[in-house]
Structure 1
Amino acid sequence: MTEDSPEAPGTTALYVYAVCRADGGPALDGVSGVARGEPVRTLPLGSLTAIVQTVRAAEFTDEAWQERLTDEPELERYARAHHEVVSVVAAQAPTVPLPLATLYTAEDRAGLVLGNESARFHTALERIAHHAEWGVKVYAADSPGEDGDETARQPCTPGTPGTPGTPGTPGTPKDRGRPAPGAGRAYLERRRNLRARHERQREDSLRVAETVDTQVCRLAKVSRRLRPHGPGTADGHRLQVLNATYLVADHRAAELELLVKDLRERTGAGIELSGPWVPYSFVGEV
């Protein structure tokens, strides 16, 4: 959808959190939203209802928002406040959450734009009714050390027989530090074996990921495969081979949890299940 970008300082704008059906309207008592001192309220859209809040336009200019993007604590505060409102509404009725910082210059402008999208909102609401979003991540088994030989990385202890330069070591001073015959070939062989083992583990992990995805898809109404997180992210050193999200009917939640538990036991893989969440991933571009 097209969002307005308020520019004039001192004026107000309308922040829109979500859209739900008009039946009764959700209870919004105690929800603060992103603007302190302004109530979170409803905006009628015919057979739909938008969840909105009046905000200071100067806090949401392009410049202000770009500055906020570099302030992680402040950005997180806005994201949490936005999500809190969406979660409260979604707990009461099927809800289409809108992206963070969806704003319009006035109520009539918001009503016009959102009203024109009513057919798409109804389609999304029909899709997600009585469903929740669940995340499933699968991780590859830990790879062996880079050298492929943990013993070789242990420091030598002075005085130990067989340590160069200590009593009991054969050879003359000029032999010290010289690799044993065939050491280079042995090292290359270890490296080749390590790479082969790593590749087998990766292939096995990818097969497990496909098995997990296939099994969970049988329970889900629809699914999305996301880009796996790489090493160095919040997931640490583990290699992620599946990062997917699934729209699952509420009455099948316990079945999903049992399935993931069984898949862990059968495959021995590191499988993480998260949820249930508001189905952000399945409401489409609205």
Structure 2
Amino acid sequence: MTDTAPAPATAHDRPAAAQDGPATAHDRPDRTVATWVFAVGRAYGAEDLAGAAGLSAAPVRPLAFAGLTAVVQDVPAALFGREALTERLSDPGELERCARAHHAVVTAAAACGPTVPMALATLYLGDERARAALTADAGRFRAALERVGGRVEWGVKVYARPDAAGTRPGVPAGGAPGPDAPGAGRAYLERMRGVQRAREEGRSSALRTAEEVHAALSALAVAARRLRPHGPGASGERRTQVLNAAYLLPESGADRIAAAVEELRGRAGAGVDIETSGPWVPYSFAGEA
């Protein structure tokens, strides 16, 4: 089991800058401060959020709208405008810092009740513009809160391991024949073909396992989503990810998913890894209609 949280909801491919809109009397005329929105729920008090640090020195606080409450924080507009934010979040270290801070606040909010996480870098030029935008989407927030109440997200990933093909090319179990040995070239080509066939069979086995995993866990879940598989990581990860999925289950469902995954691991081929993570705040299901 890993301890990496899902990416903060839907807009992680392109950071949002502070959103402009019609001017109101409540906007800060110098526009030095923007409102970062972390999450939406039915009700939060200032005391519920007192321990959350967020992304600036300002307190994390509730912002009421349309009978709901957003969790927000004032951040310096100069550091969170479109160009500045894009530049900062292009740096992997800064992106990780912001994502972790955002997730920590969402987690604190979720401890108080059903919570809809907002996308990383949801920003507005002042509370009134934030309130107007959130109010326009209040129906979706209410539906999402009904869906995620009492439920959590579990992540499951399936990988095909490259070493499952057996012997690597050029290193046969019986030792390589010398260059002048009879049939050396043909033997080498046969070994290469054998390794390639084994790799293809290993990947096919992993893909079959991925479909079995997704079908079995979808049957247990309230909802399921297949996410884009991740490519090899910068750490030198050589496995191929063939399933990256999220499952929405009741908070009491940890034992069920653990038992199901353990059974699926027992049926999987030797070259297939199945990993789970969670429970998480249901990022992957907060944005659905």
The one of 170, 177, 180 equivalent to 1:147 is 170
2:275 is equivalent to residue 272 of structure 1: yes
2:56 is equivalent to residue 56 of structure 1: no
Counterpart Cα distance in 1 of 2:130 and 2:232: 42
Counterpart Cα distance in 1 of 2:31 and 2:106: 27
Would the alpha carbon gap of residues 191 and 256 (structure 1) be closer, same or farther in structure 2, given more than 3 Å must change?
same
Tell me if structure 2 keeps the 8 A contact 1:17–1:82: yes
Counterpart Cα distance in 2 of 1:53 and 1:258: 41
Tell me if structure 2 keeps the 8 A contact 1:58–1:64: yes
Give the secondary structure class of the aligned counterpart of 1:27: helix
Residue 206 of structure 2: aligned partner? 205
2:142 is equivalent to residue 117 of structure 1: no
Residue 120 of structure 2: aligned partner? 100
Counterpart Cα distance in 2 of 1:109 and 1:10: 12
Which sections of structure 2, spanning at least 5 residues, go unmatched? 1-10, 21-28
Counterpart Cα distance in 2 of 1:232 and 1:18: 29
Tell me if structure 1 keeps the 8 A contact 2:18–2:82: no
Amino acid at match of 2:42: R
The one of 46, 50, 53 equivalent to 1:32 is 53
Q: CA deviation at 1:249?
A: 1.3
For residues 275-286 of structure 1, the aligned pairs below 5 Å read 275-284=278-287
Which sections of structure 1, spanning at least 5 residues, go unmatched? 154-162, 165-176
Residue 196 of structure 2: aligned partner? 195
Amino acid at match of 1:146: P
Counterpart Cα distance in 2 of 1:189 and 1:134: 44
Tell me if structure 2 keeps the 8 A contact 1:68–1:75: yes
Q: CA deviation at 1:41?
A: 0.7
Greater mean alpha carbon deviation, residues 64-73 or residues 118-127: 64-73
Greater mean alpha carbon deviation, residues 74-83 or residues 129-138: 74-83
Greater mean alpha carbon deviation, residues 69-78 or residues 217-226: 69-78
Give the secondary structure class of the aligned counterpart of 2:119: coil
Q: Identity of counterpart residues, as a percentage?
A: 48
Counterpart Cα distance in 2 of 1:9 and 1:152: 75
Amino acid at match of 1:149: P
Residue 13 of structure 1: aligned partner? 34
The one of 99, 119, 130 equivalent to 2:150 is 130
Q: CA deviation at 1:10?
A: 6.5
Residue 230 of structure 1: aligned partner? 231
Counterpart Cα distance in 2 of 1:250 and 1:235: 35
TM-score of the pair, normalised by structure 1 = 0.82
Q: CA deviation at 1:133?
A: 0.9
Would the alpha carbon gap of residues 266 and 149 (structure 1) be closer, same or farther in structure 2, given more than 3 Å must change?
same
Tell me if structure 2 keeps the 8 A contact 1:17–1:51: yes
2:217 is equivalent to residue 186 of structure 1: no
Counterpart Cα distance in 2 of 1:84 and 1:250: 19
Amino acid at match of 1:121: F
Amino acid at match of 1:59: L
Tell me if structure 2 keeps the 8 A contact 1:5–1:62: no
Q: Deviations over 1:61-119 (max 9, x none)?
A: 12211221233323322221111110000122111111122111121111111001000
2:248 is equivalent to residue 247 of structure 1: yes
Amino acid at match of 2:276: L
Q: Which structure has more RCO (C-alpha within 8 Å, separation ≥ 6)?
A: 2
Give the secondary structure class of the aligned counterpart of 1:16: strand
Tell me if structure 2 keeps the 8 A contact 1:34–1:82: yes
Counterpart Cα distance in 1 of 2:44 and 2:71: 13
Residue 87 of structure 2: aligned partner? 67
| Count of aligned positions | 263
Residue 7 of structure 2: aligned partner? none
Give the secondary structure class of the aligned counterpart of 2:75: strand
Tell me if structure 2 keeps the 8 A contact 1:82–1:100: yes
Would the alpha carbon gap of residues 272 and 43 (structure 1) be closer, same or farther in structure 2, given more than 3 Å must change?
same
Counterpart Cα distance in 2 of 1:102 and 1:195: 47
Q: CA deviation at 1:248?
A: 1.2
Counterpart Cα distance in 2 of 1:220 and 1:235: 33
Tell me if structure 1 keeps the 8 A contact 2:225–2:245: yes
